[in-house]
């Protein structure tokens, strides 16, 4: 493969995805939100759905989705993206509709909306970013915060006696009949990034093929609120986080119910 002596390299191997707007993001250094945005943009490009997409932004660090992904975007109130997306998709069944939501957004305040969207088998795709905290509001406990983890509202560490257990959304949603695809991925190593892309592609395909609800849960970092360097934060994902939240595909529908 290696061409000895080549000094000019003109073939682009990696360039900014077309659907990723060419601006600086507000994300903190090393925050995986950026990586996940990139992956979403790449998949939009891959399936050529950019001009046919409507994204639904959540409230959380990903609220500026509309500034970063070059598609039509509607802002949903905190936690309500799946309901808003339902309203969009029912009105425009031919469009590609996705939400992008944090773990506070999806697994706390928006629990009901995501469960019922999944249960109805709404034909849309959810990108779910689990960073075990409320990034945007300054690092409070999320439903996904690990036991013992210190956050600004669990200053002594999360204790299941008072704060309950970290909730596993990929598994929970996989248990619903309307869910076509549910997987948990991470982006802390190059290999994980590859797998994550594959999962998002599957999720996109589910929607494109009318199979119903699809969700990809990302284990993500929040270096800022974890009080860690980005590399250490990745280490945490690779360690205790994926121990508690196992990566994998929890449901994959092979055929549409009505096929």
Partner 1 sequence: MTGDIIMAGFGGQGILMIGNLLALTAMEEGKHVTYFPAYGVEMRGGTANCTVVVSDEEIGSPVVGRPKALLIMNGPSMEKFLPMLAPGGDLIINSSLVEERLVTRNDVRLLSIPADDIARNKIGSRQMASMVALGAYVARSGIVRLPTVFDCLPKVVSKKYEKFIPLNVNALKEGAALAGIHA
Partner 2 sequence: MQVHRTASHERSRLSEAAEPKEERVTATGRIEIDFERCKACELCVPACPKDCIVMGAAINRAGYPSAVFERPADCTGCAICAETCPDACIQVWR
Partner 3 sequence: MSSLAAEASKKILLKGNEAICLGAIAAGCRHYYGYPITPQNDIPEYMAAHLPALGGTFLQAESEVATINMILGTSASGKRVMTSSSGPGISLMQEGLSYMAGSELPAVIVNISRSGPGLGGIAPSQGDYFQAVKGGGHGGYRLIVLAPHSVQEMYTLTMLAFDLADRYRTPAMILGDAIVGQMKEPFEATPYDSATTAEKPWALTGCAGRERLHVKSLHLKDNAIEVHNWKLHGKFERIRKTETRAESFLLDGAKIAVVAFGTAARVSKTAIQWARKEGIPVGMLRPITLFPFPEREVFDLAKTVDVVLVIEMNTGQMVEDVRQSTPLHDRIAFLGKPCAMPTPEEILDRIRALAGRKG
Ligand X SMILES: Cc1ncc(C[n+]2csc(CCOP(=O)(O)OP(=O)(O)O)c2C)c(N)n1
Q: Is residue 224 at the binding interface for ligand SF4, with CB under 6 A as the rule?
A: yes
Per-residue string for binding with partner 2, 12-41, x by CB under 8 A? Answer: xxxxxx--x---xx-xxxxxxxxx--x---
8-state DSSP, 69: B
Q: Is residue 36 at the binding interface for partner 1, with CB under 8 A as the rule?
A: no
Which does residue 103 touch among partner 1, Mg ion, partner 3, none (CB within 5 to 8 A, set by kind)? Answer: Mg ion
Torsion of CA 249, 42, 60, 247, to 10 degrees: 20
Q: Is residue 129 at the binding interface for partner 3, with CB under 8 A as the rule?
A: no
Pull the structure tokens for residue 111.
Answer: 């629990």
Instruction: Out of 73, 118, 129, 136, point to the residue binding partner 1 (CB under 8 A).
Output: 136
Which does residue 202 touch among ligand X, partner 2, partner 3, none (CB within 5 to 8 A, set by kind)? Answer: none
Angle at 63 between CA 62 and CA 69, to 5 degrees: 70
Which does residue 73 touch among partner 3, Mg ion, a second copy, none (CB within 5 to 8 A, set by kind)? Answer: partner 3
Burial class (CB in 10 A: 0-12, 13-18, 19+), 211: buried
Residue 144 to residues 55, 129, 141, 256, Cα–Cα distance (Å) = 24, 11, 8, 31
Closest approach of a second copy to the CB of residue 120, in Å: 3
* b/e 234-248 (16+ beta carbons within 10 angstroms → b): bebbeeebbeebebe
39 or 59: CB nearest partner 3: 59
Rg (Cα) of the chain, in Å, rounded? 18
10 CB-near residues (< 8 Å, 6+ apart): none
What DSSP line would sit under 107-161, residue for residue?
IIITHHHHHHHHHTT-S-EEEEEE-SSBTTTTSB--TTPPTT--BTTBTT---HH
5 or 29: CB nearest partner 1: 29
Q: Stretches 39-47, 76-84, 209-217, 246-254: which one binds partner 3 (CB under 8 A)?
A: 76-84
Q: Is residue 208 at the binding interface for partner 3, with CB under 8 A as the rule?
A: no
Rounded distance between C-alpha atoms, residue 83 and residue 66, angstroms:
18
- In this structure, the number of other CB atoms found within 10 A of the CB of residue 6 comes to 7
Residue that the structure tokens 């210190």 belong to: 150
Per-residue string for binding with a second copy, 157-196, x by CB under 8 A? Answer: ---xx-xxx-x---xx--xxxx------------------
User: Interface with ligand SF4 by CB under 6 A: which residues?
Assistant: 27-28, 31, 33, 61, 131, 135-136, 222-225
User: Interface with partner 3 by CB under 8 A: which residues?
Assistant: 50-54, 56-57, 59, 63, 66, 70-80, 83-92, 95-96, 104, 108-109, 111-113, 116, 134, 136-138, 140-141, 143, 152-156, 162-163
User: Interface with partner 2 by CB under 8 A: which residues?
Assistant: 1-7, 9-17, 20, 24-25, 27-35, 38, 190, 193-194, 223, 229-231, 234
């Amino acid at each position: 493969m290696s061409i000895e002596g080549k000094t000019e390299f003109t073939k682009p191997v990696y360039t900014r995805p077309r659907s990723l707007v060419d601006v600086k993001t507000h994300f903190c250094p090393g925050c995986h939100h950026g990586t996940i945005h990139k992956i979403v943009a790449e998949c939009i490009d891959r399936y050529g759905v950019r001009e046919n997409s409507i994204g639904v932004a959540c409230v959380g660090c990903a609220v500026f989705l509309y500034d970063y992904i070059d598609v039509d975007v509607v802002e949903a109130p905190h936690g309500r993206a799946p309901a808003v997306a339902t309203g969009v998709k029912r009105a425009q069944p031919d469009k590609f509709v996705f939400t992008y939501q944090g773990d506070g957004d999806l697994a706390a305040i928006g629990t009901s909306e995501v469960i019922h969207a999944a249960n109805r088998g709404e034909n849309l795709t959810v990108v779910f970013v689990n960073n075990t905290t409320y990034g945007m509001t300054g690092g409070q406990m999320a439903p996904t915060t690990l036991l013992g983890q210190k956050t600004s509202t669990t200053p002594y560490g999360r204790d299941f006696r008072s704060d309950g257990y970290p909730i596993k959304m990929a598994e929970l949603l996989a248990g619903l009949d309307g869910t076509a695809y549910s997987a948990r991925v991470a982006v802390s190593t190059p290999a994980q990034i590859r797998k994550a892309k594959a999962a998002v592609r599957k999720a996109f395909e589910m929607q494109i093929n009318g199979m119903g609800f699809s969700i990809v849960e990302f284990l993500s970092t929040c270096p800022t609120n974890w009080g860690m360097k980005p590399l250490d934060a990745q280490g945490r994902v690779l360690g205790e986080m994926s121990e508690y939240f196992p990566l994998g595909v929890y449901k994959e529908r092979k055929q549409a119910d009505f096929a």
